[in-house]
Amino acid sequence: MHDDAVFRALADPSRRRLLDSLHRSNGQTLTALCHGLDMTRQAVTKHLGILEQANLVATRREGREKLHFINPVPINEIAERWIGKFQRRQLSALSALKKTLEEKRP
Amino acid sequence: MTTTPGSSYVYVTYIRTTQERLWDALTTPEFIRQYWFGVTITSDFRKGSPWKLELPDGTLGDSGQILESDPPRRLVIKWRNEWKPELKDEGYSRCVMELEPSGEAVKLTITHGIESGQGKFIEAVSGGWPKVLSNLKSLLESGKLALTAAY
């Protein structure tokens, strides 16, 4: 079942940080991804492999560089399976409220 | 295509179907309307032909041209927003659709990038592609839609 691979890949904080980094800046090289994240090149390579297997990261060759892109399609499928049928707007209003309240904290 | 950060997105999905069926799904207006929330695409999908996307209310949403057409493997569309001035100002984007056999499925890769602007257009479409692709996959695999309306 493909969902298993997605959940396994997401179950690791380092891999979630890698996805966060790609979400901020899509299409990064391995070197760019290592930079700024407190991880060895070897660890990043391993985690990227698992993310790629789960189809959460797609890669493209451009000249001599390999660029990494976050692929949101599997996460969207999971979201639609459990959340899509509820009122998405209310949910996003709630998460916006939570965000605002949390940002106001001293 | 340049690689300015944030100006290019890649979407990948694996669909249990054949390359030919997927190609038809991507290039048949009556079929597109079902998984793409009622938009109307007009094009004959031949190299050099015009391409346009109309919203369900008839507004011209986007327009452009077919840059490459290699059925059932590769389609490249030159694509510009037409209804939001700040997005139209960014000029033409390039949308590459690649279909590759992968076991019992077909791997569909959509790369949508733009060379100019602040990447606002690409960001605007980034919310839409995952929904359109989930719907397309669902329709081809089970005959049912995942979502009947965009939220």
- Model's pTM, two decimal places? 0.84
pLDDT of residue B29: 94
Secondary structure of A46-84 in HEC code, one letter for each residue: HHHHHHHHCCCEEEEEECCEEEEEECCHHHHHHHHHHCC
What tokens appear for B151 in the block? 């939220």
The set of residues, in sequence order, having a beta carbon less than 8 Å from that of A7 and lying 6+ positions away, is none
pLDDT of residue B144: 72
ipTM strictly over 0.85?
A: no
- Interface contact A53, partner B, CB < 8 A: no
Q: For B131, name the nearest residue in chain A, comparing CA atoms only.
A: A76
Give the mean pLDDT of A57-63: 93
Compare CB distances from A55 to B5, B12, B126 and report the shortest one's residue: B12
Which chain B residues are Cβ-neighbours of A60 within 8 angstroms?
10, 111
User: Cβ B151–A88 below 8 Å, yes or no?
Assistant: yes
Q: Element (H or E) spanning A98, and its range?
A: helix A88-104
Exposed / middle / buried, residue B125 (Cβ in 10 Å: 0-12, 13-18, 19+): buried
DSSP 8-class letter at B117 = S
- Interface contact A62, partner B, CB < 8 A: yes
User: Cβ A58–B109 below 8 Å, yes or no?
Assistant: yes
User: Cβ B130–A72 below 8 Å, yes or no?
Assistant: yes
pLDDT of residue B54: 96
CA distance B4 to chain A (A): 8
Report d(CA A19, CA A12) in Å as an integer: 11
Quickly state the pLDDT bin for B1 (edges 50, 70, 90).
very low
Q: Which of B89, B106, B88 is nearest to B97 (CA)?
A: B106
pLDDT of residue B5: 46
CA distance A43 to chain B (A): 23
pLDDT at A4 over 60: yes
Which chain B residues are Cβ-neighbours of A56 within 8 angstroms?
none
Report d(CA B139, CA B3) in Å as an integer: 33
pLDDT at A6 over 50: yes
